[in-house]
Copies of this chain bind each other. A is one copy, B any other.
């Protein structure tokens, strides 16, 4: 159907999409104590932005978010979390997109679908850094992981969107099994705590964290132990859902 670099422009029939409505995905991954998110770089520009997309006329808003996630990562069945809808006038700035389209050999009319004003609903997803295969779309030549604290300058209000996603993730961290996708199936309490500390941006008490996690009842301790270093081997845990 399409190659790995995504759809060709001429295959896109913008009439299939709802006008005015967009979605942006903040796709969180975690690797070596760093929280990362997928960022697109548009071709032949210094423009960076969140992976986003539009809503098909016969598609739920949530499904559009799942589809965008799939198109950029090939991941499916990932829980997506709607956190806010961005609709200020100040985010309406078609100029960068016009330049991007020009660089791709297009000369869009002023009323081209991609140059409209959009509301954008933000979703965040937690995905396995190792399982995701970042795939650029037809206007961009890379889709890469960036440290959440070392992002390039992003177009439009996308930095604000990431900030809001992070706030939402922090608020939800205790209500959801955050580690489920961000960590390996089996992990030590240390690894889980590192993840929490990275997300929350602060150190957590070691014994308190241990107790809290065990008391939450969401973890199963695997009989096995880990090895390698010159100290007591930690237990391995697994989420029980």
Contacts and interface: CB of A to CB of B under 8 A. Distances in A.
Interface of A: 18-21, 55, 57-62, 64, 82, 84-89, 117, 119, 121
A105 B85 CA distance: 35
Contact of A55 (B18, B62, B87): B87
A88 B66 CA distance: 13
A22 to B, nearest CB: 10
A241 to B, nearest CB: 22
A119 B18 CA distance: 10
A69 to B, nearest CB: 16
18 contacts: A18-B20, A18-B117, A19-B19, A19-B20, A20-B21, A21-B21, A59-B89, A60-B87, A60-B89, A61-B119, A62-B87, A64-B87, A82-B84, A85-B85, A85-B121, A87-B121, A119-B119, A119-B121
